[in-house]
Each structure stands twice: as structure tokens, then as C-alpha cells.
Structure 1
Amino acid sequence: MSNYVCAICDGKGKEVFSAGEFKDVECPECGKYLISRTVLDDMRARNRRFNVQATRECINGFIAAGKPAVISRAEVAVYQLFAT
């Protein structure tokens, strides 16, 4: 595990595993989630930020359904996770 700044809240998190397209992140505030490198790259290129509340609700919805929380381009679009 390595220290990681949470892409959602900018808090201190841990990057547990990283392979291929996704980073496996644990944040004490946002929870455990997988995040797409494509989303991160797009976010940085466009100088965008996550809507913290909406993104945490998305993560909690996955967890409540017993599924891994995944933040990909589809979730960003469907749940409108970028702040306006």
C-alpha cells in the first residue's frame, strides 16, 4: 500500500493495488473504490473536480448492493459526478 491523495475529497487515502485501467483506493472518508485512470486523466486535463457528496453516494450505493464500487466514465456520466 502506498500513500495516496483521494481523487474525490483530497484527503489522505491508500492506493491498495493498481493494475491496468483501475486504481484500488481506500479513503477513510469516501470508502473503498476502484477508479479509472481514464477518468483521472480526463479530470486533470479538463481541470475538473468530483462532486464529493454525489460521488460518495454513488460509492455507498455500490456497497449497499454488495458490489465493488467502481468509478468509470459511465458512472461519471450517469450520476453526474463532476462538480459544476
Structure 2
Amino acid sequence: MNCLICVGVAERIDCTGPWEERDCPKCGRYRVSDKLLLTLMEQGQIFDITKTRRWLNSKRHAGCTPVIEIEEALLVP
């Protein structure tokens, strides 16, 4: 399976709900909403790897897996 951020090799994690979860050696463990993935695919967009990794790192605390939803992705400068 591939990382949804950097497209490197990543482990797909089974999760419930409208999410895709990955554990990437470079990007770490995270979830992305299905709605965001569909929007990115429809628009031919990709994640900015550096900005996304920085955002994920800022959201990792107390062992929680960061979740990227469409609202966050549209607001990240």
C-alpha cells in the first residue's frame, strides 16, 4: 500500500468510519477523510508533502492519530 501524502510504501490500517488510515515510515500514522480523498482525486490535486508532514507533527500529542479532513486541508497555508 502507498502513503496518501508522499506515495512511499506505507501500511494500510483498518479503521471504521469514512477514513483511510496509513502508517508511513516518513509521514507517520494518520487518517484522511474519504471526502477529502475524493475531492483531491476529482481536482487532480496532491498533498504538499512538507506542509502536510509539518501539520501532522503539530497535531500529534498524547498518542492520538491525526486526522486530515477537508476543512483542514483547505485552510492549511
Q: Please give the TM-score of this superposition, normalised by the length of structure 2.
A: 0.88
Q: What is the number of equivalent residue pairs in this alignment?
A: 76
Partner of 2:7: 10
Aligned-CA RMSD value:
1.3
Kindly provide the amino acid, as one letter, of the partner of residue 78 in structure 1: L
Given candidates 48, 54, 62, the residue that maps to 1:57 is 54
User: Identity rate of aligned residues, in percent?
Assistant: 25
Give CA-to-partner distance per residue, 1:42-63, whole Å, 9 cap, x none.
1111100100000001110011
Identify unmatched segments of 5+ residues in structure 1. Answer: none
Matched, 1:44 2:41: yes
Helix, strand or coil: the match of 1:19? coil
Calculate the TM-score normalised by the size of structure 1: 0.82
| Among 1, 19, 29, the residue aligned to 2:16 | 19
Q: SS of the residue aligned with 1:40?
A: helix
**One-letter identity of the residue aligned with 1:69:** P
Q: Which runs of 5+ in 2 are unaligned?
A: none
Q: Is the strand fraction higher in 1 or 2?
A: 1
